[in-house]
Amino acid sequence: MSLLLDSVSYNYPGSTHGLHDVSLDVRTGELVAVIGPSGSGKSTLLKLVAGLETGHTGRIVLGGDDMSRTPVHQRHIGMVFQSYALFPHLSVLDNVAYGLKLRKVDTAERRQRAQELLDIVGLGDFAQRATAQLSGGQQQRVALARALAIDPRALLLDEPLSALDASVRGHLRDQIRSIQQRFNATTLLVTHDQEEALVMADRVAMLKDGRLLQIATPREIYEHPASRAVAEFVGLSTILPAKVAAPGRLDMGFAELFAETGTRPFGTAVHVLVRPEHIQPDPAPDSVNRLAGRTGAQRYLGALTRYDFDVAGAGKPFLAESAAPAAEAIAIAPEHLRLLDH
């Protein structure tokens, strides 16, 4: 079942904050991750889709039905929150069966369904436990099972992993993704963790100041960010100002570099984005776009070292990643200098 937001705007009463003209679609079975800095409108978007916040303009359409005026409990949407929000007085099984009880499914059937869901999330043996006896990661799997038990028309995941330890997070990320795919659940995942978004999502939607800046596949948003704001938020990078000096040539101030400048006229001011893995350490002396300098701070990451490389006049260091840091020069292939227009 597809989910469509069509020109959705919302202001919190008495404020100019909220969402501004957001349009996006989530296809059936697709997982779209919503990212953006704190205050960018991620939770507001989720609350509007859930019906927890009302009074927006534009349309929210689920499976062809306009839900804009539909109350929360009639939207038939499954939700998972950061805080698990399990019922402490109910067993694990009864937590999962809860939504079915509300929908008047008979006891035997809802217990069977809840047990099936617990088996799927790997907690089949925990059905009779109290929720307090489970770890955070286990509680979140119960919350996922509970959300899926009602066979929801869409699944909303609100920072589901952010309360968990890093060690649990990586594993649960994979598990949630694989269960979401198995159920073909149309899913919106809100996260402040851009790496989580890239790893889990079919597409990533980036919000800032209540506006949608870009929606694209993880690869597209990383390799072709639509703006400086997206480039800065997604992945690591070095971003420097430049001017088009001639077709295929950039004046960086401290050097002239070859780059794909497209049809931009002479003198056009741009920003240039370089990803750390595209910086080649110690290229041959006659390499294109060779920049001499010296390595500054280094962070050992195991297979790679991340390091700053200082080029005189650049104003800030290049952030690079390679097996070993550069000794005296770097090079950046022309196709790896991405131009961001103002």
By the criterion CB under 6 A, which residues form the site for ligand ADP? 12, 15, 17-18, 36, 38-44
CA dihedral 290, 226, 30, 59 (to 10 degrees): 170
158 versus 321: smaller Cβ distance to ligand ADP: 158
Q: What values do phi and psi take at 321, rounded to 5?
A: -140, 125
Residue written as token pair 């402040």: 192
| SS3 of residue 297 by DSSP | strand
38 versus 128: smaller Cβ distance to ligand ADP: 38
- What's the CA gap between 224 and 231, in Å, rounded? 8
Smallest distance from the beta carbon of 40 to ligand ADP, in angstroms?
4
Tokens of 100: 């079915």
45 versus 270: smaller Cβ distance to ligand ADP: 45
18 versus 235: smaller Cβ distance to ligand ADP: 18
Tokens of 266: 């002479």
Smallest distance from the beta carbon of 13 to ligand ADP, in angstroms?
7
Q: Which of 73, 46, 288, 77 is nearest to 189 (CA)?
A: 46
The amino acid at residue 195 is E
Smallest distance from the beta carbon of 190 to ligand ADP, in angstroms?
7
Smallest distance from the beta carbon of 241 to ligand ADP, in angstroms?
28
Q: Which of 154, 235, 151 is nearest to 199 (CA)?
A: 235
Smallest distance from the beta carbon of 159 to ligand ADP, in angstroms?
9
53 versus 321: smaller Cβ distance to ligand ADP: 53
